[in-house]
Structure 1
Amino acid sequence: MTAYEIPLRSDGDLLTADCIVGILRTLHTRTRVYSSDSISTVMGMTLVSVDPTSVDPAASTPDDNALTILRCIAHPFTEERPDPRLRGFLFLNQDRLRLYLDAEDIPGVIAADVRPSGAITALLAALPSLITEEDSQ
């Protein structure tokens, strides 16, 4: 068993959860040589101290992107209740995620299909207004 010690800051900036996952994927997919001063033991496990600046994080996978979408909709960075609210989700295939949402002003549940491989930032910015937008017809 191996434990990795990864600082939460790199060059003064906080590392994101996605960055930490990318670093761990890189560490587990490539053979690395560590200096003796970065290796120790803790609770019977080998402890590797990782310098985040020396590791290129692996690219995000569609599953990582889907998790980002779900996390941002379920717990947005606001103190108010999310609107629309995530009621559930279903993976229809590898690149299609169905979101079940409801909103304060709209009765029932709305289903929206999104692609985790697409532009996630644009999706997360546009989705609330698309769901709550009134039909102009």
Structure 2
Amino acid sequence: MTRRPVPEYAPDRLTAYEVPLRTGDALRTPHDIAAILRTVHTGTHIYLRDKVGTVMGTTLFTGDPATVTPAPFTNDDWSLTLLRCLASPSTEELPEARLCGFLFLAPDRLRLYLATEEAPSGMTAAGVRPGGALTALLAALPALLDEQRLTTTDADDPHCARVVDLTDW
């Protein structure tokens, strides 16, 4: 008798988590949900019988955010937030510094490759630390790209004409 492999999408191999999206009158952010899910996927958890069920053949765990301590924000979360804001700005007009690529240099360092109208001679790379005051960095980024005291060249990086070090900004 030959056993056929069970497809990855078979309902009995999947797990669903139901997490309330509201806390009072406010909505939880995507970061809140990711932090809760990261917590429930770490370590051993005991669920009350009324918090476990099935939906469409899939095991369903109903999460109670009041009993779950959300996992801390990680460097990957900060990086994703920064890249999402640069790649998909919330304004209708084109941003002054357009994201063309990125490179992880270390767990807490990211090199952003940006195209600007002011630097038609080539791509500008900005070294940043994704954690911290992202809103301030995003707002100041176009102006900081022109800071000559922070600008160098990197002969080893063929993707940019100059590098602006914003890691300590």
Name the TM-score class by shorter chain. 0.7 to 0.9
- The aligned residue for residue 57 of structure 1 is 70
Q: Which is bigger in relative contact order (C-alpha 8 A, separation at least 6)? A: 1
- The aligned residue for residue 61 of structure 2 is 48
Shift of 1:134: 7.5
Larger mean Cα displacement after TM superposition, 38-47 or 82-91: 38-47
> Residues 1-137 of structure 1: matches in 2 within 5 Å?
1-107=14-120, 108-131=122-145, 133=146
For 1:68 and 1:111, how far apart are their aligned partners in 2?
Answer: 18
CA contact (8 A) 1:75 1:82 kept: no
The count of corresponding residues between Structure 1 and Structure 2 is 134
For 2:143 and 2:67, how far apart are their aligned partners in 1?
Answer: 41
For structure 2, list consecutive stretches of 5 or more residues without a partner in the other structure: 1-13, 149-169
Higher strand share: 1
CA contact (8 A) 1:74 1:82 kept: no
For 1:80 and 1:73, how far apart are their aligned partners in 2?
Answer: 13
Shift of 1:97: 0.5
Is the alpha carbon distance of 1:125 and 1:24 closer, same or farther for their aligned partners in structure 2, counting shifts above 3 Å?
same
Question: Can you list the C-alpha shifts for 1:36-93, whole angstroms capped at 9, x where unaligned?
Answer: 2222101222101222233221011111111111111111222222221100001112
For 2:116 and 2:131, how far apart are their aligned partners in 1?
Answer: 25
CA contact (8 A) 1:62 1:95 kept: yes
User: RMSD of the alignment, in Å?
Assistant: 2.0
Identity of aligned residues (%): 58
For 1:48 and 1:134, how far apart are their aligned partners in 2?
Answer: 51
* TM-score (norm. length: structure 2): 0.70
Pair member with larger Rg: 2
Residue 67 of structure 1: SS of its match in structure 2?
Answer: helix
